[in-house]
Amino acid sequence: MRILIVEDEKPLREQILSLMATEKYACDTAADGREGLFLGSEYDYDLAIIDLGLPLLDGTQLIRELRSKERNFPILILTARGNWQDKVSGLEAGADDYLTKPFHPEELRARIHALLRRASGHASSVLRYGPIAIDTSAKRVFRDDAEVELTSFEYNTLTYLAMHAGKNISKSELTEHLYAQDYDRDSNVIEVFVGRLRKKLDADGSLNLISTQRGLGYRFNLDKQ
Amino acid sequence: MRILIVEDEKPLREQILSLMATEKYACDTAADGREGLFLGSEYDYDLAIIDLGLPLLDGTQLIRELRSKERNFPILILTARGNWQDKVSGLEAGADDYLTKPFHPEELRARIHALLRRASGHASSVLRYGPIAIDTSAKRVFRDDAEVELTSFEYNTLTYLAMHAGKNISKSELTEHLYAQDYDRDSNVIEVFVGRLRKKLDADGSLNLISTQRGLGYRFNLDKQ
DNA sequence: AATGATCCATGCGTATTTTGATCGTTGAAG
DNA sequence: CTTCAACGATCAAAATACGCATGGATCATT
């Protein structure tokens, strides 16, 4: 999951960033609205966290611009306490949720998790695909009720594919969502991780869990239940 | 599109209903929260419009119940003017947008459109041309509901032609769109791929899927639906 | 420092793409 | 009605690019 953080106050920005890091989300940051607009227009994020009080381009305006460009990833806005009008104008501009500063890290984590879950069209936090179950809140994976230990990249790769079950996902789409901005594109990490996932979750290949469409990408082949 | 309307005041309910009728949406109505819960649990709507002030079961509670039952169609809530707390608790319960009463019919229409559009953002965008279906987000192609496996160049050639259905597309236009700039022009790759597409998708030629306009290019002959 | 995770380089096998040779079609000119 | 030339279709072989496995290097975390 790739997240855009637009926050002008450095300490808060860093705090959010490190929180996101513990969750293993790939993050890009912007310190003002204009930079946020650039990044948000340029890349396909899974979620954006936007402070409403921003220099150069107001948060509300930023959201409006992003929405008018058909960027429709979920947006969580941060507002100063008690500033009802701001929240509402933010929501009106197209934000999906808000959080008042100061906030508990735990709460931010929960809201982001909820937004990501909803955005992917899954209501429950346990995704079932035949014998494979993914608990997205605990970040644990099971095959036939036995837990399969995955590393965080293996887990992220799997969930991204599973949340787009049936679709061909190109390697570049995977790298874009699993890694932050500056990532060396020509590498075969993705192949390696897909290989590991196949080995760990479908060693004998009987599930045909992840198939490769040469030139088009990978496809998670189990139906959601 | 099927829409659930939960509103206790009869005049307003009728007004919304007639507005929705002009939009050709199929609507069910409920006059209280309990009835709303029954309908919302029973049927799979594309959207629900819910007034927060409801008899028998509060709107917020209704939303919570629906969400807990994994009904995740978008929900638009109606609130009395200036009742900030209500909006927020409604959004918190799982609503997607809100509108304050009284409202302009035009505004309700716009918001519903926006919500439906957003909700369909995750549905796969399938282009249908008679018996041929192209799922552009999954990059998969079907003929008469059976999947046809295409290679990436075959797929790209097909989608380019299909997205310009009815028009003559010259071979040079195709090469320009399928290849990076400097491509060796005198080659018959395109002919080969068109041949493969015809064989895979219309082996007996009964569809006349892609016709050749000698000297001008190729034409995809099915109408978009 | 030790452990585990992630990343990178290599070589191999194979699906896909490209080529080139040949054959079929078309439409205009003789 | 033929002939001809230009264009497109087809096929199989050749070239290529792609993905995979593997093992070792690097990086992060403890």
Instruction: Write the pLDDT tens digit of every residue in A107-166.
Output: 899 889 888 887 887 767 889 999 999 999 899 999 998 999 999 999 999 999 999 999
Query: Smallest CA–CA separation between B156 and chain A, in Å?
Result: 10
Residue A30 in tokens: 């912007």
Instruction: Write the pLDDT tens digit of every residue in A20-53.
Output: 999 999 999 999 999 999 999 999 999 999 999 9
Residue A153 in tokens: 């990249």
Q: Do B153 and A215 touch (CB under 8 A)?
A: yes
- pLDDT tens for the 225 residues of chain B, in order: 889 999 999 999 999 988 888 777 888 899 999 999 999 998 888 899 999 989 899 999 999 999 888 888 889 999 886 666 777 778 778 888 788 888 877 778 877 877 776 676 666 688 999 999 999 989 999 999 899 999 999 999 999 999 999 999 999 888 888 887 666 667 899 999 999 999 999 998 888 999 999 989 999 999 988
Task: Say if residue B115 is exposed, middle or buried (CB neighbours under 10 Å; 0-12, 13-18, 19+).
Answer: buried
Any alpha helices (H) in B69-188, and if so which ranges?
A: 84-93, 105-120, 152-163, 171-178
Q: Do B139 and A166 touch (CB under 8 A)?
A: no
Q: Which residues of chain A (88-147) touch nucleic strand C at CB < 7 A?
A: none
What integer pLDDT is reported at residue A91 of this predicted model? 80
What integer pLDDT is reported at residue B79 of this predicted model? 86
Q: How far, in whole angstroms, is CA B107 from its chain's centroid?
A: 21
How many CA atoms are closer than 13 Å to the CA of A131, on its beta-carbon side? 11
Instruction: Write the pLDDT tens digit of every residue in A8-17.
Output: 999 999 999 9
Which residue from B minimizes the CA distance to A120? Answer: B122
Query: Smallest CA–CA separation between A99 and chain B, in Å?
Result: 11
Beta bridge partners of A56: none
Higher pLDDT, A183 or B145: B145
Instruction: Write the pLDDT tens digit of every residue in A72-82.
Output: 899 999 998 77
Confirm if B213 and B168 have CB atoms less than 8 A apart: yes
Q: Which residues contact B95 (CB under 8 A, 6 or more apart)?
A: B50, B63, B75, B76, B77
Q: Do A88 and B87 touch (CB under 8 A)?
A: yes
Q: Which residues of chain B (151-190) touch nucleic strand D at CB < 7 A?
A: 171, 188
Rounded Cα distance between A93 and A89, Å, is 6
Neighbours of A140 (CB within 10 A): 15
Nucleotide whose C1' lies closest to the alpha carbon of residue A193: C6
Chain A interface mutation, best of B46, B72, B85, highest count of A Cβ atoms under 10 Å? B72
Rounded Cα distance between A74 and A150, Å, is 27
Answer whether any strand D atom is within 7 A of the Cβ of A42.
Answer: no
Q: Do B139 and A97 touch (CB under 8 A)?
A: no
Answer whether any strand C atom is within 7 A of the Cβ of A187.
Answer: yes
Q: If DSSP states are collapsed to H, E and C, what string results for B47-96?
A: EEEEECCCCCCCHHHHHHHHHHCCCCCCEEEEEECCCHHHHHHHHHHCCC
Residues comprising chain B, all counted: 225
Rounded Cα distance between B120 and A96, Å, is 16
Q: A87 CA, C11 C1': separation in Å?
A: 58
Rounded Cα distance between B166 and B22, Å, is 32
Which domains are assigned to chain A?
A: 2-119 (3.40.50.2300), 126-220 (1.10.10.10)
